[in-house]
């Protein structure tokens, strides 16, 4: 896996945060859990249930030493979202997200969750979605 970083950009690899002082191209030669800074959602941006789910899954990737605690939060929020989802396609995608997270394929789960941002967030907010935020 090869990717380029700009000066000052951060990357999260296996729980470590790395920053570069100048433009650089990195090659990962073995399996590693990583997330580019551009894909990191800040806690202040987790303003909808789907973004909250993304934030929780991202935490599994960025902070693997806390995975035990975070998995409990993931399972609770994930189940609540499946229960309130009105659209079968969204439920199906959420089911796939759960399978990926349980299989420790968090990066793929994050990509799937991002595909749900627009379709779910574009709809008028439903009372059930507000209930998930309270959960």
The per-residue pLDDT for range 24-79, each reduced to its tens digit, is: 999 989 888 888 888 899 999 999 999 999 999 999 988 888 888 999 999 999 99
Is residue 125 situated within a structural domain? no
Is residue 123 situated within a structural domain? no
Give the domain range for residue 83: 41-116
Is residue 6 situated within a structural domain? yes
Based on the domain organization, do 46 and 27 belong to the same domain? no
Based on the domain organization, do 50 and 102 belong to the same domain? yes
Based on the domain organization, do 26 and 51 belong to the same domain? no
Based on the domain organization, do 31 and 67 belong to the same domain? no
Based on the domain organization, do 9 and 73 belong to the same domain? no
The DSSP bridge pattern shows strands 34-36 and 16-19 to be unpaired
pLDDT in tens, 65-93: 888 899 999 999 999 999 999 889 999 99
């Amino acid at each position: 896996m090869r990717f380029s970083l700009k000066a000052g950009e951060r990357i999260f690899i296996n729980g470590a945060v790395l920053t570069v002082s100048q433009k650089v191209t990195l090659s990962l030669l073995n399996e590693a859990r990583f997330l580019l800074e551009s894909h990191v959602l800040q806690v202040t941006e987790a303003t909808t249930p789907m973004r909250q789910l993304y934030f929780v899954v991202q935490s599994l990737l960025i902070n693997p030493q806390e995975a035990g605690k975070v998995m409990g939060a993931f399972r609770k929020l994930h189940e609540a979202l499946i229960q309130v989802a009105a659209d079968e396609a969204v439920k199906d995608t959420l089911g796939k997200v759960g399978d990926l997270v349980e299989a420790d394929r968090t990066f793929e789960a994050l990509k799937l969750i991002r595909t749900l941002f627009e379709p779910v967030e574009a709809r008028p907010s439903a009372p059930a979605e507000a209930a998930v935020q309270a959960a």
